[in-house]
C-alpha cells in the first residue's frame, strides 16, 4: 500500500498549477525580501556620511552595491540620495507584498480544492460501504472525519509543505546575502543549527503519537454529542440530564488532557527556535566587532554589521517555521491516517461496468440462501421460495427470525453468504444495482425523512418529479390534506428526521414517495407499527392503493393483516418452517397457529386487509 503522503500528493496532482504558482510567487517574494535588506546598506552609508571611495577590506556585497547604485546617487545631496533609496526600497517592498498576496491566493485555492476533493471522495466511499460498517461505527466519528480530519489534511500538502518550501527559499536567499557580507561570520552563525535539528527529531515521534490519540478523542467526543442529542427525547423523559452532563464532561476532560499533552511537546519548538535566534544575534555582534575571531584585518563597517544583524534576525523566522514543520506535519498526518483508514474500508457497492439492466417479468427466486454476519452469527439458513409478478408474499415469525435480513438481500443492501437470488433467471450480482433498485419501493416502520421540504422528501430518488407529480402521489397516500395545512405547504421544511410531523404523517410521506417511484416490487416492513387508530386507517388506505398491481413482500407481526396474502412464509431462527395460505397454516397447526391463537385468544379477530403490512395485536 502506498504511504499516506504519496496518496495525499496524488490527490493534490490536479492542483499542481496552483502549487507551481504559489511556489513561484514565494520565490519572487523571498528574493525581493532579501533585496530590500541589501538596499539598506547604501541608505545607511548616506545617513552615516560614509559615502565615497570604498574602504579597505570592503566586502563583495559592498562593491556590488557601489557599482550598481553609483549612477542613481551621483551628484545627489545626502537628502536626495536617501529619498531615492527610500523610493527603491518602497518599490521593492510593494512588489514583495504583491508576490506574497498572489502566493497566498494560489495556496488557498489549492488548499480548498484538495479538501473538497478529499471530502467528496470520502463521502462517496462511505455511501458504498457495507451496512455492517455503519452498525459498528459511530456516526459522529464519520462526521468528524468528513469535516475536521479532512480540513487538517490541507495543512500537509499546502500550508505546511508550501510554507516549508517558501521558508527554504527565504533561508537560502538570506544565507546568500550573509555569505556575501562575510562568509566566515555566516559559518559561525550556523554552528547552532545542527543541535536544534537533532532535538526536533526526538520531539517529532512523540508529537505524532499524541496527535493521533487526540484525533481519536476528538472523534469520540463528536460521536457522543451526536448520539445523545439525537436521543434528546429519551434523555429528558428518563431524567438523565445530570448523567449525560457527567458523561460528556468526562469526554471533554479526556480530550482536554490529550490536547495539553500534545501542546506540551509542540510548544517546545518555538522557544527553542527563539533561543537559537538570541544566540545568533549575540554571535553576530561580538564577532563583527572583533575581527580577530574571524581572521580579518579590520572590523566590519557599521552599516554592514547592521545589515548583517537585520539579515540574521530575518534568518530566525524561516528557521522557526522550518523547525515547526515536523510538529505540524505530525499533527496533520494523524488526521490524514484516519481519513485514509476509512478510504481503505472495502467497498461492496461497486458494480461491474458491464452489469445487465434488471427486469421483472417472470419471477423472483431465493435459491438456498443463507446469511451470516461478520461476527459469525448466522441469521438465515438455506431459504428458498419463488414469487411471481402480482403476488403478495408475507413473512411472519418471532422477532429475530431473520425477516428483515431476508428482504435486505433483495436490493443488495447485504449479500448472501451462501446461495443466490435470481430476478427473471439472472443472479442479482450480474445486474447493475441502480437498475435493480429502480424496480423496488420500500416503506418501513423507521421512516427516513430529511431536513428538506416536503416536496423534496416525496421526490427523493426521482429528481425529475414535478410539483403536479408530487401532489398526485400525496393525494393517493392520504397526505395532501395535512400538507396543504402546513405553513408553506409542500415547501415546508420538515426538520431533522421529520420531527415536525406525527408518525402517521411521516408514514404517509413515505408511501407518497413509494407511489411516485412507481416501482413494480414493493417491500413493506411493519409499515403501520405503533400508529394510533385514525392514523393507521389512513395509512392502510394508502398502502392498499400502493399495493395495487404490484408484487409485494410484506413483513408483519400482526397476523390478522396477512390473511389475504397469496402465500405466507413462517420463519423461525432463520429457516422457513411453514408455508401456505392463512387457512392452510391454521389447519396445519405448528408455530403459525400458536402465534395466531396467542394474539387473538382475548380478542375477536379484526377484519383487516393484507395491505396494512402490520402485525400489531
Judge whether 355-439+519-617 and 447-515 match in fold.
yes
Pick the CATH number of 447-515 from 3.40.50.300, 3.30.70.1140, 1.10.10.10, 3.40.640.10: 3.40.50.300
492, pLDDT greater than 60: yes
What was the pLDDT predicted at 107?
A: 85
What was the pLDDT predicted at 141?
A: 80
**Order of all β-strands in the sheet with 364-372:** 378-387, 364-372, 418-423, 426-427
What was the pLDDT predicted at 144?
A: 82
Instruction: Band the pLDDT of 570: cuts 50, 70, 90.
Output: very high
What was the pLDDT predicted at 362?
A: 92
What was the pLDDT predicted at 577?
A: 93
What was the pLDDT predicted at 194?
A: 58
406, pLDDT greater than 90: yes
- The contacts of residue 296 (CB under 8 Å, 6+ apart) are 57, 182, 184
Q: What is the mean pLDDT of the chain?
A: 79
What was the pLDDT predicted at 124?
A: 87
* Helices assigned H by DSSP within 460-575: 467-476, 480-484, 503-517, 533-547
Q: What region does 492 belong to: left with phi over 0, alpha with psi -120 to 50, or beta?
A: beta
The residues spanned by each domain of the chain are 4-191+276-343, 355-439+519-617, 447-515
Instruction: Band the pLDDT of 433: cuts 50, 70, 90.
Output: confident
389, pLDDT greater than 90: yes
Residue-wise pLDDT for 191-209, tens only, equals 765 565 566 566 666 676 6
Task: Report residue 375 as a C-alpha cell.
Answer: 461476527
* Radius of gyration over every alpha carbon of the chain, rounded to an integer in angstroms: 37
Interatomic CA distance for residues 402 and 406, integer angstroms: 6
Q: Is 228 exposed, middle or buried (0-12, 13-18, 19+ CB in 10 A)?
A: middle
What was the pLDDT predicted at 616?
A: 31
Between the ranges 216-220, 305-309, 580-584, where is the mean pLDDT highest?
580-584
Q: Quick one: which of 127, 122, 105 has its CA closest to 25?
A: 105
Q: Angle, nearest 10°, between helix axes 467-476 and 503-517?
A: 120
Instruction: Band the pLDDT of 553: cuts 50, 70, 90.
Output: very high
Interatomic CA distance for residues 136 and 373, integer angstroms: 12
Residue-wise pLDDT for 258-271, tens only, equals 888 777 777 776 67
What was the pLDDT predicted at 228?
A: 76
Residue-wise pLDDT for 26-49, tens only, equals 888 888 887 777 777 766 666 665
What was the pLDDT predicted at 264?
A: 74
Between the ranges 162-171, 181-190, 230-239, 429-438, where is the mean pLDDT highest?
429-438
What was the pLDDT predicted at 604?
A: 42
Residue-wise pLDDT for 341-363, tens only, equals 888 888 877 766 777 899 999 99
Instruction: Band the pLDDT of 541: cuts 50, 70, 90.
Output: confident
Question: CA triplet 576, 577, 579: central angle to 5 degrees?
Answer: 80
What was the pLDDT predicted at 428?
A: 92
Which H or E run contains 554? Answer: strand 551-555
pTM: 0.69
Write the DSSP symbol of residue 490: G
15, pLDDT greater than 50: yes
441, pLDDT greater than 70: yes
Superfamily designation of domain 4-191+276-343: ABC transporter type 1, transmembrane domain (1.20.1560.10)
52, pLDDT greater than 60: no
608, pLDDT greater than 60: no
Enter the CATH code of domain 355-439+519-617: 3.40.50.300
Amino acid at each position: 500500500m502506498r504511504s499516506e503522503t504519496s496518496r495525499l500528493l496524488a490527490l493534490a496532482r490536479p492542483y499542481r498549477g496552483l502549487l507551481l504558482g504559489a511556489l513561484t510567487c514565494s520565490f519572487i517574494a523571498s528574493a525581493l525580501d532579501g533585496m530590500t535588506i541589501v538596499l539598506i546598506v547604501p541608505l545607511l552609508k548616506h545617513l552615516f556620511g560614509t559615502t565615497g571611495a570604498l574602504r579597505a577590506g570592503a566586502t563583495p556585497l559592498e562593491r556590488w552595491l557601489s557599482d550598481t547604485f553609483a549612477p542613481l546617487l551621483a551628484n545627489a545631496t545626502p537628502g536626495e540620495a536617501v529619498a531615492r533609496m527610500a523610493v527603491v526600497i518602497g518599490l521593492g517592498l510593494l512588489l514583495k507584498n504583491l508576490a506574497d498576496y498572489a502566493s497566498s491566493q494560489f495556496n488557498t485555492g489549492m488548499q480548498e480544492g484538495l479538501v473538497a476533493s478529499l471530502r467528496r471522495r470520502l463521502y462517496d466511499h462511505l455511501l458504498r460501504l457495507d451496512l455492517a460498517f455503519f452498525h459498528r461505527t459511530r456516526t459522529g466519528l464519520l462526521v468528524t472525519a468528513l469535516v475536521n480530519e479532512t480540513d487538517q489534511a490541507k495543512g500537509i500538502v499546502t500550508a505546511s509543505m508550501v510554507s516549508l518550501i517558501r521558508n527554504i527559499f527565504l533561508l537560502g536567499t538570506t544565507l546568500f546575502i550573509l555569505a556575501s557580507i562575510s562568509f566566515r561570520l555566516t559559518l559561525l552563525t550556523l554552528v547552532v543549527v545542527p543541535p536544534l535539528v537533532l532535538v526536533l527529531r526526538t520531539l517529532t515521534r512523540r508529537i505524532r503519537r499524541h496527535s493521533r490519540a487526540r484525533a481519536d478523542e476528538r472523534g469520540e467526543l463528536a460521536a457522543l454529542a451526536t448520539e445523545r442529542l439525537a436521543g434528546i427525547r429519551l434523555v429528558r423523559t428518563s431524567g438523565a440530564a445530570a448523567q449525560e452532563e457527567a458523561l460528556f464532561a468526562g469526554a471533554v476532560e479526556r480530550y482536554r488532557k490529550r490536547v495539553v499533552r500534545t501542546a506540551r511537546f509542540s510548544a517546545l519548538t518555538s522557544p527553542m527556535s527563539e533561543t537559537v535566534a538570541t544566540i545568533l544575534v549575540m554571535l553576530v555582534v561580538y564577532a563583527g566587532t572583533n575581527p580577530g575571531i574571524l581572521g580579518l584585518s579590520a572590523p566590519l563597517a557599521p552599516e554592514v554589521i547592521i545589515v548583517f544583524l537585520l539579515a540574521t534576525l530575518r534568518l530566525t523566522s524561516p528557521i522557526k517555521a522550518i523547525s515547526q514543520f515536523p510538529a505540524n506535519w505530525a499533527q496533520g498526518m494523524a488526521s490524514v491516517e484516519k481519513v485514509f483508514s476509512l478510504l481503505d474500508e472495502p467497498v461492496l457497492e461497486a458494480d461491474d461496468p458491464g452489469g445487465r439492466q434488471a427486469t421483472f417479468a417472470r419471477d423472483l427466486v431465493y435459491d438456498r440462501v443463507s446469511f451470516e454476519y461478520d461476527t459469525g452469527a448466522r441469521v438465515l439458513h438455506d431459504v428458498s421460495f419463488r414469487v411471481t409478478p402480482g403476488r403478495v408474499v408475507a413473512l411472519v415469525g418471532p422477532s429475530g427470525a431473520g425477516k428483515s435480513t431476508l428482504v435486505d438481500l433483495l436490493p443488495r443492501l447485504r449479500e448472501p453468504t451462501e446461495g443466490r437470488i435470481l430476478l427473471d433467471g439472472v443472479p442479482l450480482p450480474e445486474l447493475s444495482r441502480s437498475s435493480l433498485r429502480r424496480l423496488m419501493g420500500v416503506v418501513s416502520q423507521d421512516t427516513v425523512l430529511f431536513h428538506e421540504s416536503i416536496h423534496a422528501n416525496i421526490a427523493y430518488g426521482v429528481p425529475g418529479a414535478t410539483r403536479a407529480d408530487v401532489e398526485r402521489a400525496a393525494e393517493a397516500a392520504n397526505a395532501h390534506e395535512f400538507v396543504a395545512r402546513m405553513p408553506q405547504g409542500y415547501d415546508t421544511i420538515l426538520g431533522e428526521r421529520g420531527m415536525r410531523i406525527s408518525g402517521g404523517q411521516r408514514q404517509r410521506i413515505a408511501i407518497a414517495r413509494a407511489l411516485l417511484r412507481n416501482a413494480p416490487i414493493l417491500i413493506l416492513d411493519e409499515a403501520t407499527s405503533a400508529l394510533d387508530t385514525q392514523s393507521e386507517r389512513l395509512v392502510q388506505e394508502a398502502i392498499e392503493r400502493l399495493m395495487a398491481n404490484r408484487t409485494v413482500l410484506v413483513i408483519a407481526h400482526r397476523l390478522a393483516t396477512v390473511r389475504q396474502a397469496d402465500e405466507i412464509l413462517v420463519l423461525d431462527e432463520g429457516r422457513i418452517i411453514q408455508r401456505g395460505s392463512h387457512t392452510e397454516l391454521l389447519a396445519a397447526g405448528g408455530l403459525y397457529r400458536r402465534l395466531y391463537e396467542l394474539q387473538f385468544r382475548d380478542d375477536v379477530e379484526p377484519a383487516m386487509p393484507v395491505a396494512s403490512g402490520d402485525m400489531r395485536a
